[in-house]
Structure 1
């Protein structure tokens, strides 16, 4: 039954960022059909940053009101909200309304904020839940988290992008008058079906979480349950713990070894430099480059934008997968 738990842990990890990753790879098909146009990636970047109020709220609740926030209840809420938002996106992503005299995709932007809130909050709720299980399932969870970018990218590649062609406005019956205008051919399957696919992925994530909570085989794989079961077996067989006369590691040495990583040998300037590099890399990866990607690809057409978005979403999980087979070096 361990295989079942591995599959469930992988499905839970897949649902962590599948909605937003799926939205990024679908932007080449959405951008030409909404009033925001090429500004939409910038809007999405800002919405994701605002959605970090979710992790902040969870962190503050754990700090100032420990035990008051139900971990299982929070996960049930955000995953259900994510699945519902994906389904609503499938039917209302093209709906517009006037805001300040200008047409905006209000439903799309509101639902994207809720999806961002779900995915950002999953980073601080899914991982503590998986820590209840044995350590080997944590690796499977991270594999699923990588698949949250790979799977939507593969589906988007299969979907393709509508090829644009220039048509004469007067011949096409355009009310705006004569002139050339872009006409986009439909992809292999619609944006609606893609959003419904994302909703199905969130539904699988919810089902996996329910089974991890209530399936007897999954509960037996929790770290505490495993320890208690082993203790009951040893007590029933009459085994008693024997204190070593000369332990392999003394208590002081054990404390020194466990705290060595925390103290380390880095100076404060080195620590500040490491965090600055991390902040710079994360800013480029999660804010700057996604926001300007549409403008960078604009001169090369919609097909180039589609390939750039999908391949970028697939690059991170593929790089992590390759890194598993590369040797690691540790310097003291």
Structure 2
């Protein structure tokens, strides 16, 4: 239990501490972080598939009743955790390599914190920027932070920066906090095959969106808002399917199976792509401070989403899981 608690603390605090650390590196490294974060969930899922976990079938017992039968794993739990340990060791070696070398670091590592800004700002002519090697991104960050400092609290939260912070918090509630807890309630009614195939497909969504973030590092605000509405709507549909379990919408029809699978995969793609876009935005606009708050709000949103779903499941008993070997009249 102690090891589990320690591992959980490391997992939860890594995004808060490591994201600001990446501000000293080139922009491509933030996309590499998102890709690595995605692979950290994809690899264990693939290992679980190779192990054969979750393969359930219905067999008749001595009395002739259908009961669930879980197939034995192809290799032991010890081998599974050893494989995960290799992944963690590779992560540790990669981090040590980053710390000991200057590979990929920005040429100018000065802090962009507004507390270090002086009242009198130097005037730089555009014709001399190239000669003096002044990074235009740093100038843009200074302008943005000075504007933030002049805002009141209400003005800040209704500004683009404040809205994006809220979107980071909101998407964390949906995709990290709430979504994993309703998977079985939402997908099991449509068959065990739909459940497994959909979950596997969802694990590929984050890596693909990380690659897409390299090609499309930013979008206009209106497009991000539209994507947020779409992602929220998809979450609402999957949540409704979980709430209505075991008689979810179109549960015994091919259209229903196709619709629920498509909704889950598209939800993962949309919400994770928003997170990649927001990470690129905060790195570009606020640097170290923006990435820090991006990580903090990610953890707060994840906690709130998980707690809410826990209360709905274990205390209010809002969801009912469909038994695969039981016939329902829906």
TM-score (norm 1): 0.46
Larger Rg: 1
TM-score (norm 2): 0.46
